[in-house]
Structure 1
């Protein structure tokens, strides 16, 4: 699998060639930023596979949204997934708790016309739920990777792998194809949703014409040693003189995960049965918590309007307290760890326990500072 660093290096020239920068960035207003979360309603990763959330119920949804609103004090969520009914149910539940919602449909590895039809239906449902500006619509996620016909490859793992071998002279053509699809996606969103729209772009890798959208949206996973480097990097998104919202950011739960960024999930060896955590990785909740707290502070300094931690829960990556080699939660970006009654069964009932990152976000949003402490081992279902 190509690393995120290699991927970003591969497309860096294409961003410059596309020439889609805006005007000069204004000075970043310093503000206190309360963090939101990304909430996975279930994504279809391949035809015939189950959704990333195999189990789903109204009671489970309401409990988790209550925790996000009342314990984490989140002002907003990004609700993402494939089933439009689940997206609508999540949106309604979050709105009743007083949060704003970024509705983000995801349909991977389907023909472009089907992706756009899915966007249109999701936008229509989101519009029916919107009251003023409490619902925003996200016209898809990282289409460069997840939508066929832009980068060579039938599936997104193939496309990611292919990026390392694409010659430099091909990248302008790829970016033209991306620009064409994003224009179609924005048009579909506008025709079916009357509120503000955005797009979940790969931070630093997709040269988006943000004139098409009302909000600059980024999935942000780079790692820098200093806060000043983060602030300098984030300045590029203010050039459009539009609100900037981080729709995803975060870290997995092992030592070194902050630097691994968006590739932290790749520590699981799925070639083995059952899958195992690759040797050399050590569980580390403290690093995840510290990274989230640091970036929330940086985002406030950089004038980012909103930021959503990826993700609240990942039931498809359960924790194993006794066998580290099967502790898939190490490869999870979740703020809570799931413990299944039957660890190997994705349909098994589960409960969750709050991680140190959960406590860090709750403390940040509630306005408290201090060192990280082990949170109470409470369960949610």
Structure 2
């Protein structure tokens, strides 16, 4: 694995090249900030690599109903991002969330497949979402961070190879990377528009492909936002980069993991686990810290409300593939999760084990904010 610092350094030049964008800007609605409430991401199961199991092995309608009810009732979330690979699960989750009165951002994820297969998967998801849409209760998300997860943009057969290759890519090659990215996102937007009649967006990494994206193709600027700044004024300056499109800005992911220092680690917080060990273990020197996670989540919600964003979804409410171990710190994978709830399995080593959910301090923080 590479560090987030190295990762960001590798693409800093590309982000600068991309910052000179073209395209029309159109007026869009924005939240007043009054009554702003946070939403969450709900993982229906993602296959992260071809041949791997889903991130969510255990699945049942009863479990889905219980967890979506908790999000709507206990957290009072006005909206969710439902993401995943299995289109049946994605449609089922959309139906349940709509019945609970939430707006749903439907985001299909198919990693490391040929581009045509990804677009076909996207088209099927968009058709299913359109069948369930009534007005603006569903927004379709045309994929997630394609420069990493879709082959043919950055060199590399897998997204891990692409991350590594970004660190050695000559500056002269970045204009071609950005061109290939824009060509693919234009195809993704076209497919989404053809199959879906409501609002569409794209889940872009803030500071990276979010600066390459031609947002004139979308109705909402969608950001996966893990930036950490010491002052709120720095967040204002950061969001100003996306306001020139005069479109609603929706944070589709934000949050941090559950250890001291996780807020600054941001999107690389999961990297505290040594996955080469058997079994994987939490690396030495990291301390479980629910308070830091809770304080960061509460702060970011306050920032987003002050910035009058269209909304924000915390990643993620539940992380079933990162169970909590109450007695063995080395196996406490929940430290490396962004979830608001601890997953406690009946059989710790069994991905298909029944589990119970325990609120973390961050869960209570979102509850307080949304009230």
TM-score bracket for this pair, using the shorter chain length = over 0.9
TM-score by length of 2: 0.96
Gaps of 5+ in 1: 367-381
Question: SS of the residue aligned with 1:140?
Answer: strand
For the pair 1:226 / 2:231, whether they are aligned, the reply is yes
Which runs of structure 2 are paired with 1:178-189 in the superposition (5 Å)?
178-189=181-192
Verify: 1:271 aligned to 2:272, yes or no. no
Cα distance in 2, alignment partners of residues 29 and 16 from structure 1: 31
- Number of the residue aligned with 1:370: none
CA distance in 1, matches of 2:117, 2:130: 20
Which residue matches 1:110? Answer: 113
The offset of 1:239, in angstroms, is 1.1
State the partner residue of 2:218.
213
Matches within 5 A, 1:155-304: 155-206=158-209, 207-304=212-309
Is the 8 Å Cα contact of residues 26 and 247 (structure 2) preserved in structure 1?
no
2:76 is matched with: 73
Q: Does 1:33 pair with 2:36?
A: yes
* Partner SS, residue 356 of structure 2: strand
2:98 is matched with which residue? 95
**Which of 213-222 and 224-233 deviates more?**
224-233
Does the CA contact (< 8 Å) of 1:25 and 1:236 recur in 2? no
Moved over 4 A (4+): 21-30
| TM-score normalised per structure 1 | 0.93
Cα deviation for residue 2 of structure 1 reads 2.4
CA distance 1:280–1:21, shift in 2 (3 Å):
farther
Q: Is the 8 A contact 2:26 2:216 kept in 1?
A: no
Q: Which residue does the alignment assign to 1:14? A: 14
* Alpha-carbon distance between aligned partners in 2 of 1:30 and 1:41, rounded to the nearest angstrom: 30
2:355 paired with 1:350: yes
Query: What secondary structure sits across from 2:244 in the alignment?
Result: helix
**Native 8 Å contact 2:342 2:360 kept in 1:** yes
Secondary structure class of the residue paired with 1:165: coil
Question: Structure 2 CA distance, aligned partners of 1:283 and 1:329?
Answer: 9
Q: 1:187 to 1:92 in 2, by over 3 A?
A: same
Gaps of 5+ in 2: none
For the structure 1 residues 34 and 225, does the alpha-carbon distance in structure 2 shift closer, same or farther, using more than 3 Å as the test? Answer: same
RMSD: 1.7
Deviations 1:108-132 (A, max 9, x none): 0000000000000000000000000
Contact in 1 for aligned 2:274/2:281 (Cα 8 Å):
yes
1:125-174 deviation line (CA, Å, top 9, x unaligned)? 00000000000100000001000011111111111111111111111110
SS of 1:296 mapped into structure 2:
helix
In 2, distance between residues paired with 1:250 and 1:68? Answer: 16
Determine the structure 2 residue equivalent to 1:376.
Answer: none
Count of residue correspondences? 366
2-structure distance, mates of 1:195, 1:29: 22
Contact 2:42 2:316 in 1 (8 A): yes
Query: Residue 52 of structure 1: which of 47, 51, 55 is its match?
Result: 55
Judge conservation of contact 1:285–1:355 (CA < 8 Å) in 2: yes
Cα distance, 1:25 vs structure 2: 11
